Amino acid sequence: MSTPTKHLHFGAIARCVGAYTLPLMLWMASGPLHAAELPLKVIHRIAVSGAAPVTGIGFDVSGAQAYVATGNAVDAFDVASFRQAGTLQLPAVAAAMAIDPSKGKGYAAIAAPSELVVFQLHPLRIESTIPLHDGAPSALHYASSERALYVLSRASSSIARWDVANGKLTGQVHLSGTPGQMTTDARGTLYVANAADNAIDVVDGHDMNKLGAIPTRDCVGPTGLAMDLVGRRLFVSCRDGARTVIDTDLGFTFESFPAGTPGSSQMTFAMHPFGAGGWKGVALSAGDNGELAALRMKSFVNYSDGGTHALDGKAQAMALNASAGQLWLALARSPSTKTEAGAPAGQIELLVLTPSEGATP
């Protein structure tokens, strides 16, 4: 591992916030796509009122139900009909949400008071609350292989690890700068974007000790991370618009893609996200630069630029539902803009990706 310094996710839902609207957009692909096109068309809209941004999106184990954290509520939606299937009222506004599909549980981080709310998915109900004592929570990452929940507090630049089986705090690490998106591999290692140092901080997730840092070559200001657990590849999106692929076994960047539209972003990854006849894998990034960008995985050592799709606003949360071949994307958009179909901004848009002519698998 390199040591540059001392260190070794068909529908949409909208929430109105003052002059902005937060639509949750969903797109689906039915086959292979041309790398430069990403053709989309709106097939459905659902408008939902609200007063806070979308802070988390997740799905149950079957992919049949979606969960969206907005303000002090978690709304459940039927993926097939896009109808609301239930609402869970939280004690306060959620700063982040994570889902454990295998156990049918969800976790909502509340900043004030600082606590973690544990809830069941079927039916939606609060199971318990856990007080947090080291800074207001900002983000969550659930590691299914460890049954561990990582709680990030940007206010204190710290990350706490919780054992979700017994609700116990098992460790904590303090990092420099302002940590960005987190992700884990299947072997107990935590990776954290470090935009200030142009590196990815690497943490032993078991004892929460910092192991070192991987420099993000050709990628300035890393903010978004996504992990391919099978190939052990780490995908990184940076503020300068560049994206890189890191071999986590060796700890170096082995493929880089030129800088595009600048802006902070988050990432998500899935194998066969559009069905067996589509792409082998895809890493998607979206954020405040007004675009959705894709890295197409052809093999574990072969990646290509999958193209971009222009968004008329800032992405706030996203999640891939590989079971249904869908990406759910929350977008904050000015009410003065129009959707591709000419509809007023502020409605949920369901976008369907269709294969472009001449596209190859």
pLDDT tens track for 112-146: 999 999 999 999 999 999 999 888 999 999 999 89
Give domain limits for the chain.
Answer: 14-339+347-353
User: Residue 337: which pLDDT band, with cuts at 50, 70 and 90?
Assistant: low
User: How high is the pLDDT of residue 341?
Assistant: 42
pLDDT, one tens digit per residue, over 1-50 is 444 333 332 233 333 333 333 444 444 433 333 345 453 344 555 554 56
67, two tokens: 């969960």
Q: In this predicted model, which residue has the larger pLDDT, 235 or 350?
A: 235
Those residues whose C-beta lies under 8 Å from the C-beta of residue 132, and which sit 6 or more positions away, are 109, 114, 115, 116, 151, 153, 160
AA letter at 71: G
CA distance 175 to 200: 11
Q: CA–CA separation, 55 vs 72, rounded Å? A: 10
| Chain segment 282-331, per-residue pLDDT in tens | 899 999 998 989 898 999 899 999 888 888 778 889 998 888 878 888 88
Asked whether residue 349 carries a pLDDT value surpassing 50, the answer given is no
Rounded mean pLDDT of 190-213?
96
Whole-structure pTM value:
0.86
What is the architecture, at CATH level 2, of domain 14-339+347-353? 7 Propeller (2.130)
Averaged pLDDT of the chain = 81
Q: In what order do the strands lie in the sheet with 94-100?
A: 94-100, 105-110, 115-120, 125-131
pLDDT higher than 80, residue 92:
yes
Q: ∠ at Cα 301 (297, 304), nearest 5°? A: 40
Q: Hey, what are 306's tokens?
A: 């999958």
Q: CA geometry: angle at 357 spanning 354 and 360, to 5°?
A: 90
Which range, of 107-111, 210-214, 335-339, averages the lowest pLDDT?
Answer: 335-339
Beta carbons of 35 and 279 less than 8 angstroms apart:
no
| Residue 17, pLDDT score | 31
* pLDDT top residue among 238 and 37: 238
Report the phi/psi class of residue 291: left, alpha or beta, with left for phi > 0 and alpha for psi in -120 to 50. Answer: beta
**For residues 202-208, average pLDDT:** 95
Is the omega angle on the peptide bond into residue 355 within 30 degrees of 0, that is, cis? no
